[in-house]
Amino acid sequence: MEDLFSAIGKGLRRVRNDAPVPYVGTRSNAAFGGIFGSPDIPDAERAFDAFGSVGTLFAIVSQIGNAFASVPWHLYKRTSVRDQSRRTEVLNSGFMYVWDKPNEFMTGRRFREATQQHLDLVGECCIVLNIVGNIVLEMWPVRPDRIEPIKHPTKFLTGYVYHGPEGEEVPLGKDQVIRIMYPNPRDPYRGMGPVQAVLADIDAARYSAEWNRNFFINGARPGGIIEVDRKMSDKEFIEFQSRWRQQHQGVANAHRVAVLENAKWKDVSFSMTDMQFAELRDLSRELIREAFAFPKPMLGTVDDVNRANAEAGKEIMAEGQTIPRLNRWKDEINTFLLPRFANGSTLVIDYEDPTPINNELANAIRNSKTTSAANLVKAGYHPDDVAEAMELPAMQWVGIPAAPTPAPKEEGTDANGSAITGRRKPLIGVLERGWSE
């Protein structure tokens, strides 16, 4: 049954479901368009552009965001019991309604994945709340480079300003914005992520890809200089330039013989081998992966990967990437968002453990527990107490089974009339086939 606050929240959402800040200008259809943003994150545009142009960065951030957003969350009553299996789950709550559908246009998974992308690309993410009265109706992910904190010498922070696509400034209160950040040692108001640590290397990967692209656009030939023995007029220069591009630019015109009148070609560029772009791109890929501490097998690199370290890579991914991000979100949500809802101070949100099951380790642990339990029972301890101490399920004691009785030997002849001796009669066969003694 739906609680009262969920019903009220749904009703208010129907009345007001506008985005709290403008995502696009009135004269533009491009999402997040415009050049206005907070000067505190000057590299945000470069990081966002790199996400869409550097394959290694796209693969890492996408996999992290997808793994993070795929983990189920549950709401529990706050308790002092350490055993999490004894917690009482809350199924009907206004918070879970907003958590699963933060606004009219997003699911909870899409919302969390988009917000986590911001966190990994620029080191911080911003959630802007749509509030009516004291009720949180919606949550919206907003680009953090558009949110400027209003700093104060004694109060630390007094609010925020959102810089819109057309330069408009939207003031936001402290209660309207929730920010999750990787700590920045130089600025307590801003975050710093792994991309900022290797942004120069990411740019190098982008530029090498663009150089390769331009190499083929220019006819798969290195660049050079055309020297003429006299000064051309503007008309002659434009005509010569136009004819050269028409006849020699582009892959279709590659290796076409050029005829130069009163001019000489001078090669002044390096070849792809000279620039070692293959080595450069491999180095950039490794530096990006190391900045995220991302397991190599998860990138699809299989030159030195086998099944064992591939399985280990999944565990490293969960323990080193997904769980720390889940813990960061859990702390922020339980501290700053959940108390804003009805009875939120008595509740706590938690996630399901995303670590994949290690079957080999699980078997070893189970065998160790059962062996230890058998030794304790032989030592005289009560089986029920032993099972509880070893975290084994309760099992009914039926006693030690008796040794099996040997089956009687069958005497007689086979179908060919040969004597049959020393063969034991199959008891199951006797019952199924109706054989007689």
Among 37-46, 68-77, 150-159, 270-279, which stretch is predicted with the lowest mean pLDDT?
A: 270-279
**pLDDT band (50, 70, 90) for residue 425:** very low
Closest to 437 in 3D by CA, of 417, 414, 411: 411
What pLDDT does residue 74 have? 94
Q: Is the pLDDT of residue 56 over 90?
A: no
Residues in Cβ contact with 20 at an 8 Å cutoff, skipping those fewer than 6 apart? 128, 129, 130, 138, 140, 172, 176
More confident residue, 435 or 6: 6
Instruction: Sort 251 into a burial class: Cβ within 10 Å, 0-12 / 13-18 / 19+.
Output: exposed
pTM over 0.95: no
**Distance from C-alpha of 89 to C-alpha of 94, rounded to nearest angstrom:** 14
Residues in Cβ contact with 329 at an 8 Å cutoff, skipping those fewer than 6 apart? 112, 180
Average pLDDT over residues 282-287: 77
Q: Is the pLDDT of residue 14 over 80?
A: no
Model pLDDT for residues 31-52, shown as the tens digit of each residue: 444 444 455 566 888 888 888 8
Model pLDDT for residues 161-189, shown as the tens digit of each residue: 999 888 889 999 999 999 999 999 999 99
The conformation of residue 320, written as its DSSP 8-state character, comes to: I
Average pLDDT over residues 317-336: 94
What pLDDT does residue 205 have? 72
- Asked whether the beta carbons of 111 and 141 are under 8 A apart, the reply is yes
Q: Is the pLDDT of residue 241 over 50?
A: yes
**Distance from C-alpha of 69 to C-alpha of 115, rounded to nearest angstrom:** 10
For the CA atoms of 322, 323, 329, 334, the dihedral, rounded to the nearest 10 degrees, stands at 150
- Asked whether the beta carbons of 307 and 359 are under 8 A apart, the reply is no
Residues in Cβ contact with 15 at an 8 Å cutoff, skipping those fewer than 6 apart? 132
> Where in 358-398 does DSSP place strands (E)?
none
Instruction: Please provide residue 338's backbone torsions phi and psi, each rounded to the nearest 5 degrees.
Output: -60, -40
